[in-house]
Amino acid sequence: MVKKSIHEINGRIRDGSVNVVTAEEMVDIVGELGAEGAAKEVDVVTTGTFGAMCSSGVWLNFGHSEPPIRIGKLWLNDVEAYSGVAAVDAYIGATQQSQSKGMEYGGAHVIEDLVRGNSIDMHGISPGTDCYPRKVIDTTINIYDLNQAIMLNPRNSYQKYNAATNSTNHTLHTYMGSLLPHYGNVTYSGAGVLSPMHNDPNYETIGTGTRIFLGGTQGYIVGEGTQHSPAAGFGTLMLKGDLKKMSSEYIRAATFEGYGTSLYVGMGIPIPILNEDLAKATAITDDDIVTNLLDYGIPSRDRPVLRTVTYGELRSGSIDIDGKEVPTSPMSSFKKSRQIANELKEWIRAGDFLVSMPVERLPTTTPCNAMKQTNVNPLVVDIMSSDVTTIHEDAGFHDAAKIIMEKQFNHLPVVDSGNHLVGIVTAWDISKAVAKDEHDLVKDIMTRNVVTTSPDEAIDISAFKLDSNNVSALPVVDSNKHVLGIVTSDDISKLLARRH
Active site residues: 131
3-state secondary structure of 14: helix
- With beta carbons less than 8 A apart as the criterion, state whether 154 and 225 touch: yes
CB 82, min distance to other proteins, A: 24
Report the alpha-carbon distance of residue 92 to residue 263 in Å, rounded: 12
Which CB sits closer to other proteins, 254 or 281? 254
Residues whose CB falls within 8 Å of the CB of residue 262, separated by 6 or more in sequence, listed in order: 52, 53, 54, 94, 95, 108, 175, 253, 254, 255, 256
Which CB sits closer to other proteins, 186 or 238? 186
Which CB sits closer to other proteins, 256 or 409? 256
CB 254, min distance to other proteins, A: 4
Note the residues at the interface with other proteins (CB under 8 A): 50-52, 173, 177-178, 180, 184-187, 252, 254-258, 262, 264, 317, 327-336, 338, 448
Burial of 67 per CB tally in 10 Å (0-12, 13-18, 19+): exposed
User: Which backbone phi and psi does 231 adopt, to 5 degrees?
Assistant: -60, -35
CB 425, min distance to other proteins, A: 15
Strand 44-46 vs strand 270-272: parallel, antiparallel, or unpaired? antiparallel
Which CB sits closer to other proteins, 120 or 254? 254
Which CB sits closer to other proteins, 250 or 409? 250
Instruction: Choose among 445, 444, 451: nearest CA to 475.
Output: 451
Neighbours of 211 (CB within 10 A): 17
Report the alpha-carbon distance of residue 195 to residue 228 in Å, rounded: 16
Instruction: Choose among 10, 353, 23, 22: nearest CA to 201.
Output: 23
CB 483, min distance to other proteins, A: 22
Report the alpha-carbon distance of residue 113 to residue 248 in Å, rounded: 9
Report the alpha-carbon distance of residue 250 to residue 215 in Å, rounded: 5
CB 216, min distance to other proteins, A: 14
